[in-house]
Chain A
Amino acid sequence: MSIVQKIKHYAWIVIQYFSLIFFSFVALLPIVSCVITAFKTEEEYQTTNVMTMPENWFNFDNFIEAFQKADMGRAFINSTIILIFVVAGSVMIGSMLAYVLNRFKFPGNGLIRSLFLFATLLPGIAMQVSTYQLMYRLHLINSLLGYIVLSMGTDVIAIYIFIQFFENISTSLDESAYIDGASYMTIFFKILFPLLKPAVVTVMILKGVGTYNEYYNASLYLSSPELKTVALSLYTFVGPLGSKYNLICAGVIISLIPALIVFLLFQKQIYSGLTSGAVKG
């Protein structure tokens, strides 16, 4: 390598690492500053700069107070119930629909596919005007059931992930099972569904994180206090508590922990799931 090349080589390395460190810092700064503040006592929060480290990193008082004030115990139970049903429902509905659409030719197959595709173009928030009326008439406002059904009914991405996955499973498998006398029900549940495992994991994670973080529909349809989800419970801090950021930050951090755990455990699946969901076009 000539000297010029060497300089170029090292300059590029410096630029690379500088960019990575800088943008990681940008990404983490808002969160880290929140963590710092969450550990501060009231007095520290009032007197020190926000970026000054707290004196005691084991001061969990804010977390305890935030957890109680926002009734987050209740909220975690609600979120868990919603998650279980929405995720299980989406996996079942999505995989069954994908099976039928992928394996059988029947009139209307194309039409149904386009119906689901077109639905992705309709922005959910825009439709709330009439969805709210519908939910009102069905007596599904302020009911966990209503919110669960609504969340399952407006999911399309799961279906695409499953259809993609089915395309890679050979039909000869179904064929030989059918010849051996298995019913379509058996073929789906006993043979194909177990093979879908990677897709199921992907859908569970993506749908799970999405449902856990959803707040717009939840704020419309789960407004009574005992039905609040974790994201919604943070609304407790709007109003009189609105300037007690040591408390608010603690609440925010608590609400992030489940997402963080899932992220640390399933990083690879999240990345590949997003990638496979995005290429559908």
Chain B
Amino acid sequence: MTRTTPFNLRKWLRGRKGQQAIIIVLFMAVPLALLLTFTYFPFAEMFKFSFYKMKYVGEREFIGLKNYIDVFKRDDCFQALWLSVYYMCGAVVQLALALYLAAILSFKVKGGNFFKGCMFFPYLINGIAIGFIFKFFYTRGFVFDTVLQWFGFELENLPYWLKDTSINNVSLVATSVWKYFGNNMVLFIGAMMSVDNELYEAAMLDGANKWQQFKYIMLPSIKTIVMLNLIMSITGSLSAFEPPFVIMSGGANGTATYFVKMHEIAHTSQKVGLASAMAIILLLIIFAATVLQKLFFKYVFKDGEDEDVNAAKRREKKLAREKARLKRRG
């Protein structure tokens, strides 16, 4: 018969398990407290608010689902979500542009680092400065108009870039592309550079041209990060906020996106309940979009996940095939 020793707390604490427990609790207390206080508690509160008619201070009244119904009924709330289509189109342009420039820069070019730096720098500018820069840039007869005149456009034929409601959302999306394309480009270059250089050399020796190198070596290796960026920019488009907020001083002239509208409802009209319902609805949409995209990603690009393991093999196979083809042609 074995005698079980009574549990000795002090001994346990001094032992390995106890030491681990102490360090776990000690190191996690602050981050967890911050996460719960500033992310999950407000999240829960917001969920609760969405069922009330309330302002920041004063009486609250429980009104059930009325806020949610209002979001769909009012023509200024849900309608604003249509503007994100502009931002999605912008995101596609932005990624294509980033991919193209990254492909150029990943080959040896003179002054590559300088060009990369120029195109990346806008990403580091603070939002309010961007607001002023583009208010100035788009003002009638100022920077943009002047440059277009250099290229032979007549000022009379140019629209008011920020006032004209048929073009102003495009102008705003352009600023967002301007800010972020360099960032996407840097990410793509990073992925492209992770490809073994020998592959390119081998391909070059075998007479593969630049386009073939791009298509068979580069593209497969960056598919994952391109998809990832596409997903993130679609989610980002739904919550577009900065361009109309800073350039149009809060979304004048029909440029108010969903988030800008929500900010206005929450802070100017102080309809906290309605704004909360808007936030929850958008979260549900973003969540659904993310899940759908993940599923899409999984089934359409089945091999996307195990990229690192198999990509090299596939690339080599394709390369071999390509080599054989070139040889046949002589």
Query: CB-CB < 8 A to B128: which residues of A?
Result: 215, 231-232, 234-235, 255
Query: CB-CB < 8 A to B28: which residues of A?
Result: 96-97, 100, 112
Shortest C-beta distance, A179 to chain B (Å), equals 11
A238–B135 CA distance with the chains assembled, in angstroms: 11
Let me know if B132 and A183 touch, CB within 8 A. Answer: no
Q: Given the known A-B contacts A27-B182, A255-B126, are A127 and B132 also in contact in the complex, defined by CB atoms under 8 Å?
A: no
Is B37 close to A, CB under 8 A? yes
Q: Which of A18-26, A55-63, A195-203 contacts B (4 or more CB under 8 A)?
A: A18-26
A128–B136 CA distance with the chains assembled, in angstroms: 30
Query: CB-CB < 8 A to B143: which residues of A?
Result: 29-30, 33, 50-51
Shortest C-beta distance, A192 to chain B (Å), equals 12
Let me know if B228 and A133 touch, CB within 8 A. Answer: no
Query: CB-CB < 8 A to B241: which residues of A?
Result: 125
Query: CB-CB < 8 A to A100: which residues of B?
Result: 23-24, 27-28
Let me know if B146 and A256 touch, CB within 8 A. Answer: no
Let me know if B121 and A231 touch, CB within 8 A. Answer: no
A238–B248 CA distance with the chains assembled, in angstroms: 12
Let me know if A127 and B279 touch, CB within 8 A. Answer: yes
A29–B113 CA distance with the chains assembled, in angstroms: 18
Let me know if A134 and B41 touch, CB within 8 A. Answer: yes
Let me know if B129 and A252 touch, CB within 8 A. Answer: yes
Residue in B114, B126, B182 whose beta carbon sits within 8 Å of that of A259 in the complex: B126
Query: CB-CB < 8 A to B239: which residues of A?
Result: 123, 125-126
Is B159 close to A, CB under 8 A? no
Residue in A133, A152, A188 whose beta carbon sits within 8 Å of that of B45 in the complex: A133
Query: CB-CB < 8 A to B100: which residues of A?
Result: 19
Is A263 close to B, CB under 8 A? yes
Let me know if A121 and B290 touch, CB within 8 A. Answer: yes
Of all chain A residues, the one with the shortest Cβ separation from B276 is A129
Let me know if B136 and A20 touch, CB within 8 A. Answer: no
Query: CB-CB < 8 A to B290: which residues of A?
Result: 121
Let me know if B46 and A130 touch, CB within 8 A. Answer: yes
> Which of chain B's residues 1-46 have a Cβ closer than 8 Å to chain A?
16, 19-24, 27-28, 30-32, 34-35, 37-43, 45-46
Q: Which of A80-88, A165-173, A269-277 contacts B (4 or more CB under 8 A)?
A: A269-277
> Which of chain A's residues 212-236 have a Cβ closer than 8 Å to chain B?
212-216, 230-232, 234-235
A100–B22 CA distance with the chains assembled, in angstroms: 11
Of all chain A residues, the one with the shortest Cβ separation from B117 is A267
A29–B30 CA distance with the chains assembled, in angstroms: 45
Secondary structure at the A interface, as helix, strand, loop or mixed, is helix
A172–B285 CA distance with the chains assembled, in angstroms: 45
Residue in B105, B129, B146, B262 whose beta carbon sits within 8 Å of that of A126 in the complex: B262
Is B69 close to A, CB under 8 A? no
Q: Given the known A-B contacts A125-B241, A130-B276, A213-B124, are A278 and B225 also in contact in the complex, defined by CB atoms under 8 Å?
A: yes
Counting contact residues on chain A (CB < 8 A from B), the size range is 35 or more
Is A10 close to B, CB under 8 A? no
Let me know if A115 and B119 touch, CB within 8 A. Answer: no
Is B64 close to A, CB under 8 A? no
What sequence of 0s and 1s flags, for each residue 167-194 of chain B, a beta carbon within 8 Å of any chain A beta carbon?
Answer: 0000000000010011100110111000
Query: CB-CB < 8 A to A188: which residues of B?
Result: 23, 27
A265–B226 CA distance with the chains assembled, in angstroms: 28
Let me know if B146 and A50 touch, CB within 8 A. Answer: yes
A153–B44 CA distance with the chains assembled, in angstroms: 16
Of all chain A residues, the one with the shortest Cβ separation from B46 is A130
A188–B121 CA distance with the chains assembled, in angstroms: 36
Is B301 close to A, CB under 8 A? no
Is A240 close to B, CB under 8 A? no
> Which of chain A's residues 235-272 have a Cβ closer than 8 Å to chain B?
235, 237-238, 245, 248-249, 251-252, 255-256, 259-260, 262-263, 267, 271-272
Let me know if B35 and A30 touch, CB within 8 A. Answer: no
Query: CB-CB < 8 A to B105: which residues of A?
Result: 20
Of all chain A residues, the one with the shortest Cβ separation from B188 is A275
Of all chain A residues, the one with the shortest Cβ separation from B186 is A271
Residue in A24, A26, A231, A259 whose beta carbon sits within 8 Å of that of B124 in the complex: A259
* Interface pairs (15), CB distance under 8 Å: A19-B104, A20-B112, A30-B136, A93-B31, A96-B28, A106-B21, A122-B283, A125-B241, A129-B279, A131-B38, A153-B39, A252-B133, A255-B128, A274-B186, A281-B228
Q: Which residues of B contact A (CB under 8 A)?
A: 16, 19-24, 27-28, 30-32, 34-35, 37-43, 45-46, 49, 56, 97, 100-101, 104-105, 107, 109, 111-115, 117-122, 124-129, 132-134, 136-137, 141-143, 146-147, 178, 181-183, 186-187, 189-191, 210, 225, 228-229, 239, 241, 246, 249, 259, 262-263, 266, 272, 275-276, 278-279, 282-283, 286-287, 290
